[in-house]
Amino acid sequence: MKKVILISSISLYIINIIRKIRTHLGINTRDIQKILELDPDGNILGAIESSSNSAKYHDQHLNKLALAFTDKSFELGYNITYTLNDFYPPIDFEEKMVEKVIVKIDPTELGQTGTLYLLLVEESNAFFDDWHTSKEIAQYCGSKAEKNWEAKDFTAIIDQAVKKGIFIRKSEKEALFKRP
Amino acid sequence: MTSRKRKLLNTTFPAISFDKILLFHKARTEKGISAFECSFLLGKHDFFIRDAENPFKSTLIDPEDSVHLSKVLSLRECNPETNKFDLYKLEVEEHKIDRKKTKRIIIIKNDGADLNPIEMIVEGKEEELETSLFLSTYEKAQSYFRELIENGYFDSTRTALEIFNTFRNHHEFGPNFHPRFLIQNIRYFLNKKSGEPILDNSRTNLFSRRLFFKPLDFKIESDKGAISESFTAIGINTFQQANKWVSDLDYNRNHDKNNVLTLFEEQCGTCSTKHALLKRLADENGNESIKLILGIFTMNSKNTPKIKDVLAKYDLKYIPEAHNYLRNHNHILDFTGIGVNETKFELDLLEEVEIGPDQITDYKVQYHKEFLSRWIETNKIPYTLDKLWKIREECIAALART
């Protein structure tokens, strides 16, 4: 008996655009807690990106996210400066109550970081339950994103993911990776 | 303007929200739109913008109001640049200029912040700012306003921004139209003392924005039918008077729902008999815009607190219940007389269908049961239709208990 949660079209637009951008940048729940200076064990993102909870972002959140997304974007070489306007809908957007439907992100909309993050963390794709080489990971992500990616496109991204703890490396000698 | 009294105060304020307030303040004062006029077009209380511009108040401009205000002020974007500070430390100097006017000089005291003082005048409600926008005249605005009323524009509920946009889209006023005389005219058509109180502003929409509409009314012609005759016989001569009479009647089930005059005889009714009577009255008098609706809504412990224990007992979050009401253009009219808030009720609606006044008995029950059957199946509810109907009856019994 799922109760439909209604939310303003503007708040929902913001939630979904943040979801797209953060996925593109590979930013997860724990990162968001840190960015918003909240309890590391909490999960504000879980509430905000849940279709059964009416939680939403406010401007103080958006300001912090814009600053952090900008830093991350420069770190990844995308070099995009985000402002709150990037999260808001166009001014002529209609104000109405709508069902809180969180968008499903397609890997074809993303780059290498976003695709790996989406499959590995957001969708818990079973491929990452087993050990794989960078080449296999690049090919698998490429097949999902409909792109022709190579192992070298993923070297730095996999290193970052290992540092972040969302990937583990089998050993110093064996460059094989899987979900922890 | 020489200042008489000076007061120095310190406070803190969310930095990005303060920057946003400054952005809107600059835009509205450049266009000569007062704080009251902005609040009015936002559909909020008269001092909303004045409060938002007051660093000692907690009023913030949320994303919904930001987009709405940007529409009012014809802005392309509604946000300032990002801000490295979370909170501003503000030093606020208040100067009393005269009896009605105060000037605030605000300095942001954070390390590295722009130290240039920000000046803001605290405006009175009727303050009129100088403007370069096109004001037109009060009379011309009124003439078009009357045209809109006559053409049925206000048969539907309208926000102030919708009305403003209608004026801006009209060749006589154009996109640079200033809202001053429009707002004065809206207030004129609401004013019971010195205006022509044609409009009603007692409702707000789901975003708490004030709505304006012309309440439906017509004279009841006694020779139009049995119901019209019964109303006029008890001294009720207009549809609005009939609405009030019906709403004031006790809420009780009728013994004979098929008797169209049962409310007059039993002096009570439910949502179905009360609204069927009003629908028949409207039909008799040739009013076609009124529709009788059968709506299925989520009856839960929030909108119906008395059924909380019954729902808990059967582990149900809500139960779909049937309700009758009227619809006129884009809004609901509910004269059940049990305090239903029409705006909030719309949020709980699952489905609605137009019915005839003779469909409030068997058809209503059948429709409701069919809905419940589908609901049981779709939501894997662990009860049969018969059992659920009994639970529903238990809810209704709980409702009747005082």
Q: Rounded to a whole number, what is the distance in Å from the CA of B11 to chain A's nearest CA?
A: 18
Among candidates B64, B70, B86 on the partner chain, residue whose Cβ is nearest the Cβ of A91: B70
CATH code: domain A107-178 is: 1.10.10
**Confidence at residue B402, expressed as pLDDT on a 0 to 100 scale:** 59
Give 10-residue mean pLDDT values along chain B (402 residues): 72 97 97 97 96 96 97 96 96 88 93 89 91 97 98 97 98 98 98 94 95 97 96 97 96 89 94 96 95 96 90 95 96 90 90 96 95 95 96 88 65
Say yes or no for a CB contact (<8 Å) between B318 and A84.
no
Please name the residues in contact with B99: beta carbons below 8 A apart, sequence gap of 6 or more: none
pLDDT band at A62 (very low <50, low <70, confident <90, very high): very high
Q: Does A54 touch chain B (CB under 8 A)?
A: no
Task: Convert the pLDDT of each residue in A167-177 to its tens digit.
Answer: 999 999 999 99
Q: Is the dihedral of CA B367, B373, B374, B375 positive or negative?
A: positive
List the domain boundaries for chain A.
6-99, 107-178
Mean pLDDT of A28-44: 91
Locus of tokens 């919708």: B162
By C-alpha distance, which of B369, B380, B366, B365 is closest to B315?
Answer: B380
Q: Which two tokens stand for residue B260?
A: 């169209």
Q: How many CB atoms lie within 10 A of CB A80?
A: 14
Q: Rounded to a whole number, what is the distance in Å from the CA of A1 to chain B's nearest CA?
A: 5
In chain A, the residue whose alpha carbon lies closest to the alpha carbon of B61 is A59
**Confidence at residue A1, expressed as pLDDT on a 0 to 100 scale:** 62
Check pLDDT > 70 for residue A154. Answer: yes
**Confidence at residue B100, expressed as pLDDT on a 0 to 100 scale:** 77
Q: Rounded to a whole number, what is the distance in Å from the CA of B102 to chain A's nearest CA?
A: 29
**Confidence at residue B7, expressed as pLDDT on a 0 to 100 scale:** 84
Q: Rounded to a whole number, what is the distance in Å from the CA of A91 to chain B's nearest CA?
A: 6
**d(C-alpha B185, C-alpha B192), whole Å:** 13
**Confidence at residue A29, expressed as pLDDT on a 0 to 100 scale:** 87
Q: Does A36 touch chain B (CB under 8 A)?
A: no
Task: Convert the pLDDT of each residue in A68-123 to its tens digit.
Answer: 999 999 999 999 999 999 999 999 999 999 999 999 999 999 999 999 999 999 89
Say yes or no for a CB contact (<8 Å) between A70 and B82.
yes
Q: Rounded to a whole number, what is the distance in Å from the CA of A69 to chain B's nearest CA?
A: 11
**d(C-alpha A13, C-alpha B309), whole Å:** 37
In chain B, the residue whose alpha carbon lies closest to the alpha carbon of A1 is B379
Say yes or no for a CB contact (<8 Å) between A70 and B70.
no
Interaxial angle between packed helices B63-72 and B160-168, expressed in degrees from 0 to 180 and rounded to the nearest 10: 30
pLDDT band at A2 (very low <50, low <70, confident <90, very high): low
**Strands B210-213, B200-204: pairing kind:** antiparallel
Cβ-based contacts of B161 with chain A (< 8 Å): none
Tell me A147's DSSP state.
-
**d(C-alpha A17, C-alpha A15), whole Å:** 6
Interface test with B, best of A3, A56, A59 (most B CBs within 10 A): A59
Q: How many CB atoms lie within 10 A of CB A108?
A: 10
Are B227 and B234 in contact by the 8 Å Cβ rule? The answer is: no
**Confidence at residue B14, expressed as pLDDT on a 0 to 100 scale:** 97
Say yes or no for a CB contact (<8 Å) between A97 and B206.
yes
**Confidence at residue B341, expressed as pLDDT on a 0 to 100 scale:** 85
The architecture in CATH of the region A6-99 reads Orthogonal Bundle (1.10)
